[in-house]
């Protein structure tokens, strides 16, 4: 399975790096391909290291103005002209999506895939990996949107919240009939 991971390129502490490395390792051991922003910095590097060290494949989609930070040694690297094309290519190449901790770029990517699902333009499974409770507030906001009628589909049809990497991958594999 090609699993797109949206996450930060920032250097973060162990409470975020440990689960990213663990998820990458699980992904690689499962024979999956990581589809990610292609950067060799921060959490993007950590998850890619985990995938590569455990025998998985790396398919990066960087963007022109960040090409200097693209990971050397990826199995495949595509350079998009802008962020919109990058996001489109990432989603196009993915069978499933995992949203890990990140900033505004990650949030933008997350809301894009959820909007596509909301309108029935994709049926790809989406997992929000809630490392260290990072997305507790967002989960509460989504629930409010659902409760107050802003979502035309149940939240459970749009996104699965996982607290640990093993649960995230298990959900994806089960949803794709792999487990």
pLDDT at 3: 97
Q: pLDDT category, 178, cuts 50, 70, 90? A: confident
CB 98 within 8 A of CB 172: yes
Task: Quote the Cα angle for 176-130-77, to 5°.
Answer: 60
Strand order in the sheet with 76-80: 76-80, 57-63, 33-36, 2-6, 96-99, 126-129, 160-162
Q: pLDDT category, 179, cuts 50, 70, 90? A: low
pLDDT tens, residue by residue, 69-102: 999 999 999 999 999 999 999 999 999 999 999 9
* Rounded mean pLDDT, 160-177: 94
CB 91 within 8 A of CB 126: no
pLDDT at 18: 96
pLDDT at 177: 83
This prediction has a pTM of 0.94
Average pLDDT, the chain: 95
CB 89 within 8 A of CB 74: no
pLDDT at 176: 83
Length of the chain: 179
CB 90 within 8 A of CB 65: no
Question: Between 14-29 and 165-175, two packed helices, what is the crossing angle to 10 degrees?
Answer: 30
> How many distinct helices (H) and strands (E) make up the chain?
7, 7
């Amino acid at each position: 399975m090609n699993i797109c991971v949206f996450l930060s390129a920032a250097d973060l502490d162990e409470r975020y790096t440990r689960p990213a490395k663990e998820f990458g390792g699980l992904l690689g051991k499962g024979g999956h391909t990581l589809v990610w922003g292609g950067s060799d910095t921060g959490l993007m590097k950590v998850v890619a290291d985990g995938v590569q060290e455990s025998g998985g494949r790396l398919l990066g989609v960087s963007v022109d103005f960040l090409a200097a930070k693209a990971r050397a040694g990826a199995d495949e690297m595509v350079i998009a002209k802008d962020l919109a094309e990058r996001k489109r290519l990432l989603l196009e190449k993915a069978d499933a999506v995992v949203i890990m901790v990140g900033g505004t770029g990650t949030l933008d990517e997350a809301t894009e895939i959820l909007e596509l699902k909301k309108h029935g333009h994709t049926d790809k499974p989406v997992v929000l990996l809630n490392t260290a409770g990072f997305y507790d507030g967002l989960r509460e906001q989504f629930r409010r949107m659902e409760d107050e009628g802003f979502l035309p589909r149940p939240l459970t049809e749009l996104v699965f919240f996982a607290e640990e990497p093993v649960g995230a991958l298990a959900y994806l594999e089960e949803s794709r009939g792999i487990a």
